[in-house]
Amino acid sequence: MDLEQPNGPYAAITVVDSTTSTNADLERMRPPDRTVLIARQQTAGEGRRARSWTSPPGGLYVSIYYVPTGVPAHRWPWLTLLAGVALVNVARSTGVEAVLKWPNDLLLGPGRKKGAGVLATTTEQGVVLGIGLNVQPVQAELAPGGLAPTSLVEEGADELDLTELANRLLLELDKWEAPWRAAGGDAVASGLHEEYRERCETLGQEVRVDLIDGSFEGTARYLEADGTLVVRDADGRDRPVPAGDVVHLRT
Ligand code: BTN
């Protein structure tokens, strides 16, 4: 993979053949702002909710360490939504239908299967943003909410060079991260909120929200400025859903 961007926005871009987890590596290293680590495969890829992320060769496994100077920490979670916007654009650039399930599951094709996942972990100084994109078919378990896995190939992508995909993803991330950071992390002012909404199929949907202590059904109504989803429950109450798994009840 030739990903040198000497005058680009990234401090360094390292590609390794194999590692346990690119997220775990960057968490340990705490490198300079905008350091990128890409692996051709991971032996212990980490997913959300302490699950694993199946990471055979042929997929894209990328982590970026951001030190978002000037952005208050309560706005850092926007980085995960931003990754979702970038992923939709990369998938669509290959000719594949792509939308988001809040907060950041990439759903591909008419079957709305899961083609990518985003996992962010926070350190005192910044955020490790990890992105796994299924390019070739993977044998993976169903994701929470019963989402079946898929890949760009299975959804009929017309162009699949891994280096090209990685370059596109890094460019897309920078396209949204730079203005977001310049706006002090204000997603509304930087336009990111709007861009995310346009790609998020959850809004307007009948959903089930699975929380740690139970679940409820309702209609996903809107997104707060901080990225929180607001769901109107059966009693007509608008309930903020800052975390938890949202299941689309119709597709
Ligand atoms: C999810 O469960 O949906 C999130 C999956 C995130 C996987 C990526 S692959 C690159 C980075 N390194 C990891 O160990 N996990 C993330």
> What is the tens place of the pLDDT at every residue in 32-61?
999 999 999 999 999 988 889 999 999 999
pLDDT of residue 7: 59
Q: From the CA of 42, give the closest atom in ligand 1.
A: 14
pLDDT of residue 50: 85
pLDDT digits over 177-190, tens only? Answer: 999 999 999 999 99
State phi, psi for 100 to the nearest 5 degrees. Answer: -115, 145
pLDDT of residue 98: 98
pLDDT digits over 65-123, tens only? Answer: 999 999 999 999 999 999 999 999 999 999 999 999 999 999 999 999 999 999 999 99
Residue 244 has pLDDT above 80, yes or no: no
Residue 13 has pLDDT above 80, yes or no: yes
pLDDT digits over 114-172, tens only? Answer: 999 999 999 989 999 999 999 999 887 777 777 899 999 999 998 689 999 999 999 99
The residue whose CA is least distant from atom 11 of ligand 1 is 130
C-beta 46 within 6 A of ligand 1: yes
pLDDT of residue 159: 66
pLDDT of residue 6: 54
The verdict on whether omega for the bond into residue 103 sits within 30 degrees of 0, i.e. cis, is yes
The residue whose CA is least distant from atom 9 of ligand 1 is 132
Dihedral-angle region of residue 28 (phi above 0 means left; psi in -120 to 50 means alpha; beta otherwise): alpha
Residue to mutate, 37, 119, 131, 142, ligand 1, most ligand atoms under 8 Å from C-beta? 119
Contact 4, 167 (CB under 8 A): no
Q: What are the structure tokens assigned to 30, written together?
A: 């705490």
pLDDT of residue 170: 96
pLDDT digits over 217-233, tens only? Answer: 999 999 999 899 999 99
What is the set of domains in the chain, with CATH numbers?
Answer: 12-198 (3.30.930.10), 202-248 (2.30.30.100)
Neighbouring CB atoms inside 10 A of 91's CB total 26
CA atoms within 13 A on the CB side of 193: 16
Sheet of strand 105-108, all strands in order from the earlier edge strand to the far edge: 12-19, 35-42, 60-66, 127-133, 113-122, 105-108, 98-101
Residue 234 has pLDDT above 60, yes or no: yes
pTM here? 0.94
Residue 251 has pLDDT above 80, yes or no: no
C-beta 132 within 6 A of ligand 1: yes
C-beta 114 within 6 A of ligand 1: no
Residue to mutate, 131, 138, 165, ligand 1, most ligand atoms under 8 Å from C-beta? 131
pLDDT of residue 8: 76
pLDDT of residue 165: 95
C-beta 150 within 6 A of ligand 1: no
Helix or strand or coil: residue 246?
strand
For 220-231, b/e burial (b = at least 16 CB within 10 A) is beebeeebebbb
pLDDT of residue 142: 79
Strands 35-42 and 12-19: parallel
Identify each DSSP E strand in the chain by its residue range.
12-19, 35-42, 60-66, 98-101, 105-108, 113-122, 127-133, 206-211, 214-223, 229-233, 238-241, 245-248
Q: From the CA of 62, give the closest atom in ligand 1.
A: 10
pLDDT of residue 5: 62
C-beta 119 within 6 A of ligand 1: yes
Q: From the CA of 116, give the closest atom in ligand 1.
A: 3
C-beta 149 within 6 A of ligand 1: no
